[in-house]
Amino acid sequence: YIDRLTEVFRELRRVLRSDGTLWLNIADTYCGTGNKGYHADPKNPKGRNGQQIARNNRVSGCKQKDLIGIPWLLAFALRADGWYLRSDIIWQKENPMPESVKDRPTRCYEHIFLLTKSKKYFYDAAAIAEPLAPTTAARYRTGRSAGQKYADEIPGQGKVQGLNRARSGSYYDEALMPTMRNRRDVWLINTVPYKGGHFAAFPPKLAETCIKAGCPKGGVVLDPFFGSGTTGAAARQLDRHYIGIEINAEYCALARARIGGTEK
């Protein structure tokens, strides 16, 4: 599985622009009995390609019930194959799929790896910046007193423009105050219902965030696992072009309907 995906992404790297980015969302799974099973979604019990799934039998180095570590196995394989591994983003969900397990916590996150073709690449940090917490903004606005070294009195705080100087009045000019900060690598994005039959659909906000940061307006977004077209719909809404590749003809029909405006 890892070897095959590495081959697929090698071809994607070949056609990617030199300043392009890869945003890879992949979930983990557990080593099971080896018997065939079904996905947990009652609308699509046979998974992405309409087939039964194998429960990870005979995974080298794994015992039954072991967490396999597929995301990191793939990330390391891609790095060894030439990709630059730049970030491990945690996609946290407050409404994860229920699990019946009683001997471990319920899974509520997935990995999103940011990988690049080159050392220098397009990344628009401002497009996905997040607001400062109100308390942080208030501390920055009052700045530091003459006897303080830092605006928030925490040693090691980096310099913030307009803050690390003694204030002349009660407050600094609000025009100098930062209101946004660089996006952190834990993203709280809940899943959203989709009435189509695609099991692995992810929320549009997730696709939009990756596209805003990793692709300039007018650029092209390529999704080799297009599914129901979430990425294409997001790209179109954000004034980007898209190319979608999907092996399942039924999902292609879903994507055409969705992007054409008949499915919301």
Each residue of 180-205: pLDDT tens digit? 999 999 999 998 876 665 455 689 99
The secondary element (H helix, E strand) that includes residue 176 is: none
Same domain as 188, residue 85: yes
Per the domain annotation, does 47 fall within a domain? Answer: no
Same domain as 123, residue 221: yes
Same domain as 141, residue 114: no
Per the domain annotation, does 42 fall within a domain? Answer: no
Helix (H/G/I), strand (E/B), else coil: 181: strand
Rounded Cα distance between 58 and 210, Å, is 35
* Res 151: pLDDT: 47
Per the domain annotation, does 173 fall within a domain? Answer: yes
Indicate if the pLDDT at residue 65 is higher than 60.
yes
- Stated length of the chain: 264
Same domain as 111, residue 121: yes
Per the domain annotation, does 44 fall within a domain? Answer: no
Per the domain annotation, does 36 fall within a domain? Answer: no
Same domain as 162, residue 104: no
When mean pLDDT is compared across 44-48, 70-74, 182-186, 232-236, the lowest value belongs to 44-48
Rounded Cα distance between 165 and 148, Å, is 9
Average pLDDT over residues 157-172: 51
Beta bridge partners of 90: 111, 186
| Residues 239, 228 contacting (CB under 8 angstroms) | no
Per the domain annotation, does 104 fall within a domain? Answer: yes
User: Domain range holding 162?
Assistant: 132-181
What confidence category does residue 138 fall into, taking pLDDT thresholds of 50, 70 and 90?
low
When mean pLDDT is compared across 80-84, 120-124, 199-203, the lowest value belongs to 199-203
Same domain as 187, residue 76: yes
Same domain as 202, residue 110: yes
* Res 263: pLDDT: 43
Same domain as 241, residue 139: no
Rounded Cα distance between 214 and 19, Å, is 9
Task: Give the total number of structural domains in the chain.
Answer: 2
* Res 142: pLDDT: 56
Strand ranges for 1-137 from DSSP E: 21-26, 36-37, 53-54, 84-92, 109-116, 130-131
* Res 171: pLDDT: 53
* CATH number where 14 lies: 3.40.50.150
Same domain as 20, residue 139: no
Same domain as 141, residue 218: no
Phi and psi, residue 140, nearest 5°: -65, -35
Indicate if the pLDDT at residue 252 is higher than 80.
yes
Same domain as 221, residue 158: no
Helix (H/G/I), strand (E/B), else coil: 113: strand
CA distances from 156 to 146, 150, 151, 152 (A): 18, 8, 11, 10
